[in-house]
Structure formats: C-alpha cells, structure tokens
Structure 1
C-alpha cells in the first residue's frame, strides 16, 4: 500500500503541470492574429483531460498546484490555481490566486483565463462581487468573464473606461470592442 502513494503523487503532479502547460499554450495560440482553431481544439482536449484528472483527485491537488506555482509563477500555473478555486468554490484559494496574480509572470492573464474558461454558472457570484472590488486584478478578471460570456457591464462601462488603473481601462476597451 505504501508504494501506491508515491505513484499517485507523481500522477497528480504531472496532471497539474500538463494543465498549466496546455492552458498557457492555448492562450498563446488564441492570441495569434489568425488563431489556428484546429490546434486550439487539439490543445483544449488535452487541457480538459488534465483538468478532469485534477477534479477526480479533489483536494489532494492543492499541494501540487501551490508547488507548481512556486516553481513556475506564470500564467498557466495561475490558471490552474484559479480554475480549481472557482470550480470548487474555495474562496480562500481564490483570494490566494488573486494575490499570486500580482507576482506571476502575466499573472492577471492566468486569473482571467480561468474566468473565461469556466461557464457563468460557476463564476457568476464571484464576478458580481469582483466587478465592484477595489482591487484592479479582481475587476479585470470580472470584466474578462463578462466579455467571454456575453455579459453586460451596464452603466459601469463609462467609469471603467476612465478607471485610474491602466489595465482596467484596457480591459474595458476590449470589452466595448467585443460588444
């Protein structure tokens, strides 16, 4: 029985690293001027398979997710952290992901990516809370979710277009272009 646990750890670590890699790859492919939709679909399938494995592993994934981020504080690792926190409704971990987004390489992109990937039924409550937050990282993620899923900023848009934080102004302009 003792020999099974190290194998499971290796598998969870691999799925965590793969999910981070595939999401970062997907994000890069999607940002190209002419996205290769076939390549994105191929990567999406692999990403979702690894996310499924993390879902199955449940709370046991957290040490591996945190370790992956500490080793590589980048957008893919942050995506995995935010994705799991959102999907499980873990407010403490989501707060941690928002804090880590400030330290990560392109961190807000990873945080926003999780909000864009997951359906509104999973993110709606957080988006409602975060759109009026004082924290620009949280506002940016909320705008990304609304933009990705056809939501509305309503009468908030003019204020966001004039926000003191440049990232918020850019996100609001992108939102306006999409809608």
Structure 2
C-alpha cells in the first residue's frame, strides 16, 4: 500500500476516534436531536467502513492508536478487529478492559456498531460461560444497546455470582422489556453491599412493579452513584405527586443531593419543583445551566435572550461538542435568573403543581412520539421511558443507538 493510502487510513483511524468521542457527548446534549446526531453518525460510519476496507492495515493503524491509552481509540480498534473477525486482536484489546477509564463504554459502543452477522458471532462468543464475567457483561450491554434480546442467556446472568454481571443483566432486562423476568428482578432487588440490587429495583419499576419504588428512593437518597440519578429519575416519574415533590425537595436540600434532585425534577416535569430550581439557577453557578434546562422542560421556555445572558457561540452542533467541558449542559447559554423569574411570574398560572410536562406540554402519546422523533436528546430519552411505561409490549427505545438504526425503528 503506497504512502498516500497509508496516510488516508491513518486519517480514518483518527477521525473515527474523534467522531465517536463527539457523538458520546452529543447523545446527552440538549443541542442535538436525531437529525444532528445522524449527521455525526454518517461521518463516523464512513470512517469505520474505510478502516474495515483497508483490512489488516486499517486494524494495524487502529491498534497503534490504542497505545495512547484512550477510550475513543479503543472504540475504533475494537470495532475493526471484530468486523474483520480477528479474534486474537480483539482478545488483546479486551484484556483488563474493566479497569481502564471509559473502556467498557467504548467496547459496548464498538459492538453496537457491528454489522448484524458479525454482531451475532462476536456477541455469542463473548456470552459463552467460559468467558470472564466482565466480557459477558459487555456482551449483555451490547445486546441491550442493539435492542437485541439474548434470550435464555439473560435470566442465567441475573443469578450470576459476579455483581457487575448481575447489574448489567438487570439493566438489560429492563431496557429490553423482559417482563417475564420480573420475579427474578424482585428477588435481586434486596439492598446489600454490591452494585446489582439498585439496578434490579430500577428494572422492576421500569417494567411496571411499583413495589420496588421505595428501593429507588433509597438508592437516590443514599447517593449510590452511578445509579442514583437514574433511580431518582425513574422514581420521580412513577411516584405520586406529593411523594415525588417531597423526596426531590429533600434531595435538593443538600449540595451532594442537588444534582440527583435535578435529574429527578427533569424526569418529573412538575411545576412543584420550580421554586428550588430557580434558587439553584440563582445560587449554584456550577448547576445553573442544568437547572435552567429543567425549567425549560417544565415550561417549554426557550433558553435564549432574554432568558439567557448570551447566546451560544455560532458553530455547528458537532463543533460545540468538541469543547473540553465536563458536562453537556455547559453547551447551553448562561441563564439570566432575574429574567427567568420574571418569565415564571407570568407563566405560573398555566402550570398547576402536580401536572407533569415535557417541553412545556402535558404528557400524551402523540406528543411523546413527536418528541422521540424531533426533540432534543434529553427530551427524546424522557419520551422513550414514558412510552415504554405506557406500553406492555415495547422495550426502551435506544436514543443513543446509531442514527440509521433509530431511523429504521421509527419507520
């Protein structure tokens, strides 16, 4: 292969890693909808295809990039190794993956982007009983990301000795809508010292078992991350209005609980939360943008002047993602608290406490479906949960899946 072609392959490897890192942020960003996410995905897919077409040279360049030790490079390398069927290269990449920051997420994403035939083979091999629990867990997570039911393999992992594998299986059972596994999830949802029980409670409640709701509040109030925010959000959706308002106010009263409370308030969409949300905008600069998004979720307000101090920089959404900041909420403009309080003084008459809203509108099937198709990514995620809760036959719509896969499901 001549030098120019080698340079093209190297560029494919760099671009694939860079674009995947961008889309990881875009999946959670309020600046992105499905169309904007799909724009990144088309570019990412083109680079991945270029690497696979380059064969051994493509894999060689990806493996060389992994030496930098970052998750984005691991995503590209794992995807190409799996797509080419190079089991030895993939095995080397997966050694100790659970101990490297961000590596598990990168591998799950790489498996989620595989073609159907390769995915079936690779995921089947990783789910073998002789595989280490960490790799079986990645395979379970990739099944859920692809909205692909692993069948009888899933209930067996719900009783696995390894807590991490059990936690993955619980999450997958919930996301895939496996209501037949509710008895096993109820049995696993018993507070203990490992990481699995909160996810068992989360999955049980998502599948319609309200008896596990107190366990979600327990996980949220104990601030058991990384599950606390997800537990709080689902509990806030499913609890009665008075209970949800009281629990969220309790969490919001402490600095450590405030980010978790904001996740719950965003999911609840209840104007009862607005007083402490406004206080957060005014007095907590680090959380003010996050709190302003909660306000927008409840009221439908547009976070632009006069409700914002300035508009975001004029740039394409995917370029905004390249900014090196810790949270996707930092993509939002700085809120003007005085203007937002004035806006609320005029809008509050139309927002009775106890009513649930998304984007300022009451929850309803037609509006939720529209949000899923055209809304910002955080609202799409909320709509997916609400639509699943309203249906006994569907799983959780994968709003972080490749754009082409989401488009096919929506059709």
User: RMSD of aligned C-alpha atoms?
Assistant: 2.4
Name the residue aligned to 2:102.
106
The residue aligned with 1:121 is 117
Please give the per-residue CA displacement for 1:117-145, whole angstroms capped at 9, x wherever unaligned.
11331121222221134413311221123
Structure 1 residues 103-162: Cα deviation after superposition (integer angstroms, max 9, x where no partner): 543111111111111133112122222113441331122112321333334344344234
- Cα separation, 2, equivalents of 1:42 and 1:55: 21
Matched-pair contact (CA < 8 Å) for 2:59–2:81:
no
Residue 136 of structure 1: which of 122, 127, 133 is its match?
A: 133
2:72 aligned with 1:76, yes or no? yes
Q: Secondary structure at the match of 2:149?
A: coil
**In the superposition, relative to structure 1, how do residues 57 and 156 fare at CA in structure 2: closer, same or farther (>3 Å)?**
closer
Aligned to 1:57: 54
Whole-Å Cα distance in 2 between the matches of residues 157 and 68 of structure 1?
Answer: 34
TM-score normalised by length of structure 2: 0.39
Q: Which residue in the other structure is 1:8 paired with?
A: 5
> Larger Cα Rg: Structure 1 or Structure 2?
2
Q: 1:32 to 1:100 in 2, by over 3 A?
A: farther
Deviations 1:56-99 (A, max 9, x none): 3221123321221112x222211111111111111111101211
Alignment match, 2:84? 88
| Unaligned segments of structure 1, at least 5 residues | none
Whose helix proportion is higher, 1 or 2? 1
Comparing 43-52 with 6-15, which one deviates more in the overlay?
Answer: 6-15
Encode CA deviations 1:30-74: one digit per residue, 9 max, x unaligned. 245896322210110110111122123221123321221112x22
User: What is the alpha-carbon distance in structure 2 between the residues aligned to residue 174 and residue 147 of structure 1?
Assistant: 8
For the 8 Å contact 2:111–2:119, the answer to whether it is kept is yes
1:130 and 1:6, CA in 2 relative to 1: closer, same or farther beyond 3 A? same
| Matching residue of 1:18 | 15
Please, which of 158, 163, 173 is the counterpart of residue 161 of structure 1?
158
Q: CA deviation at 1:8?
A: 3.0
- Indicate the SS of the match to 1:152: coil
Using structure 1 for the length normalisation, give the TM-score: 0.83
Q: Is the 8 A contact 1:112 1:140 kept in 2?
A: no
Q: Does structure 2 conserve the Cα–Cα contact (< 8 Å) formed by 1:100 and 1:107?
A: no
Aligned partner of 2:337 in structure 1 is none
Residue 128 of structure 2 is aligned to residue 148 of structure 1: no
Q: Do 2:140 and 2:169's aligned partners in 1 also have CA atoms closer than 8 Å?
A: yes
